[in-house]
Amino acid sequence: MENLLDKITRLEREHDHIDPELIERKRIKLGLRNIDGTGVVVGITTKGQVKAFKRDRHGKNVPIPGKLIYCGIDVEDIVAGVEREGRYGFEETVYLLLTGDLPSEKDLAIFNMEIGKRRTLPDVAKKILSFNSKNDDQMSALHSAVASLHKFDENPRSTDIREITRQCIDLIAKFPTIIAYNYRVADAKNGNPVDFIEPKPELSTAQNFLYMLHGEMPDEDVARAFDLCLILHAEHGGGNNSTFTVRTVSSSLTDTYMAISAGVASLAGHRHGGANESVMEMMDGIKKNVKDWDDEGEIRGYLEGLMDRKYGDKSGKIYGMGHAVYMITDPREPILKEKAKIFAEKTGRLDEFALYDRVGRLAPDVIKTKKGKTVCPNVDFYSGFIYDMMGIPRSLFTPIFAMSRVAGWAAHRTEEIMLGRLIRPSYISTMRKKVYYKPLKSREQS
């Protein structure tokens, strides 16, 4: 098989190569992107809006400081409102995304209770999670667990919106439990016991996750900051890869477990959900190799080396910088930066915070100089640092993103089903000549 596999791979490489000139000539919008890098408009949504440009009087798009809106409400207002009232806000964000309305006090209490009741996993599901795996990949573990939950649903294939909403709320409630338990299974390889701590119905999503992960009640400030991270990652319009994936598969009327696990699969990809982990690895390199953290010249030199593929993962990227839509600011970044500073003070890591701050100021200029591209620090720049200060392992950074974004996926799934049209774009074929089918005996032998 080894030799044949080499042959198949070689043939694939030859056959799959499409001439970039042909792509340009045929005006194919690869990655569903227009020539200027903006996304091709392929849908319409009431759920989330990412604003980064305004039209000037000549009809030209001019970049503006970024805004992220959930069902008409600026996410910065949600965060500020929840903080002002000293409450947890992820659950009401879920309610808002599903319904388009903020819940009344009474409805929020009922909704919290319903989510609280649904966090527990059936014993058989816990058994499935306990199976030993040859790797410790936490996104793969989440993906299989979500897909397997259809086993516990008597009506998984229903296309009734009420049933789908029930399934979605159930999954939103169970994601933190699955993620904490999967980690505990992986951690058992380090000699720690596989201890499935039962969720407490009276706790918020943020508190419950930290409780099930660490086995003790979290500090209130830590849980509140974690809740804020969940609010900020819950939704990002219909065009981001995982939400669009969920919308695409939902449009075929596949079931909720398959649709949401497809979202997890998309988010797991390195081009999508994993950037906060990459920021941490990049910062490890900076901390190790930059001798004087106050020396902006030395930091700049290292950042240039990253772009010249000399350092880090040699991808040429400065992680945590740039965004497919935002150019001037990513509205989530300053909120996280402020939290990072508070935690750095608390945990005695202000020197690291100052280094992040310097990198955040210098990197956009380095990228502008080398690529001519205007970028800003993005949501991933500080989020990993915050999770790290909370004692959360890196392998959980992307699953935590999923724990939050499942809210947006659920909201977009019901909306797509209500729209009721199968997503079915078109591909141009590059095949030129007709190839006749040869009988087996007359084919060339190798």
Ligand X SMILES: CC(C)(COP(=O)(O)OP(=O)(O)OC[C@H]1O[C@@H](n2cnc3c(N)ncnc32)[C@H](O)[C@@H]1OP(=O)(O)O)[C@@H](O)C(=O)NCCC(=O)NCCS
Residues 306-335 that bind ligand X (CB under 6 A): 307, 316-324
68: contact with ligand X by CB under 6 A: no
**Residues in a beta bridge with 70:** 48, 73
Contact assessment for residue 146 and residue 260, using Cβ atoms and an 8 Å cutoff: yes
> Which of 150, 187, 272, 357 is the catalytic position?
272
# binding residues, ligand X (CB under 6 A) = 19
26: contact with ligand X by CB under 6 A: no
Residues 272-301 that bind ligand X (CB under 6 A): 275
303: contact with ligand X by CB under 6 A: no
Among 171, 172, 375, 410, binds ligand X (CB under 6 A): 375
189: contact with ligand X by CB under 6 A: no
Residues 379-438 that bind ligand X (CB under 6 A): 379-380
367: contact with ligand X by CB under 6 A: yes
Rounded least distance, CB 403 to ligand X, Å: 17
- Is residue 295 annotated as a catalytic residue, yes or no? no
378: contact with ligand X by CB under 6 A: yes
- Is residue 236 annotated as a catalytic residue, yes or no? no
As a three-state string, the secondary structure of the chain is: CHHHHHHHHHHHHHHHCCCHHHHHHCCCCHHHECCCCCECCCCCCCCEEEEEEEECCCCCEEEEEEEEEECCEEHHHHHHHHHHCCCCCHHHHHHHHHHCCCCCHHHHHHHHHHHHHHCCCCHHHHHHHHCCCCCCCHHHHHHHHHHHHHHHCCCCCCCCHHHHHHHHHHHHHHHHHHHHHHHHHHHHHHCCCCCCCCCCCCCCHHHHHHHHHHCCCCCHHHHHHHHHHHHHHCCCCCCCHHHHHHHHHHCCCCCHHHHHHHHHHHHHCCCCCCHHHHHHHHHHHHHHHCCCCCCHHHHHHHHHHHHCCCCCCCCCCCCCECCCCCCCCCCHHHHHHHHHHHHHHHHCCHHHHHHHHHHHHHHHHHHHHHHCCCCCECCHHHHHHHHHHCCCCHHHHHHHHHHHHHHHHHHHHHHHHHHCCCCCCCCCCCCCCCCCCCCHHHCCCC
Task: Choose between 38 and 165: whose C-beta lies nearer to ligand X.
Answer: 38
Rounded least distance, CB 111 to ligand X, Å: 29
> Which of 236, 323, 330, 388 is the catalytic position?
323
37: contact with ligand X by CB under 6 A: yes
Nearest-10 Cα torsion for 49, 51, 53, 55: 60
269: contact with ligand X by CB under 6 A: no
246: contact with ligand X by CB under 6 A: no
> Which of 170, 227, 330, 380 is the catalytic position?
380
Task: Choose between 61 and 430: whose C-beta lies nearer to ligand X.
Answer: 61
52: contact with ligand X by CB under 6 A: no
- Is residue 233 annotated as a catalytic residue, yes or no? no
Q: Which stretch binds ligand X (CB under 6 A): 20-28, 39-47, 128-136, 377-385?
A: 377-385
Task: Choose between 380 and 415: whose C-beta lies nearer to ligand X.
Answer: 380
Rounded least distance, CB 331 to ligand X, Å: 12
Q: Which stretch binds ligand X (CB under 6 A): 48-56, 260-268, 378-386, 423-431?
A: 378-386
Rounded least distance, CB 238 to ligand X, Å: 16
Q: Which stretch binds ligand X (CB under 6 A): 6-14, 16-24, 81-89, 369-377?
A: 369-377
Contact residues for ligand X, defined by CB under 6 A: 37, 275, 307, 316-324, 367, 371, 373, 375, 378-380
Active site positions, annotated: 272, 323, 380
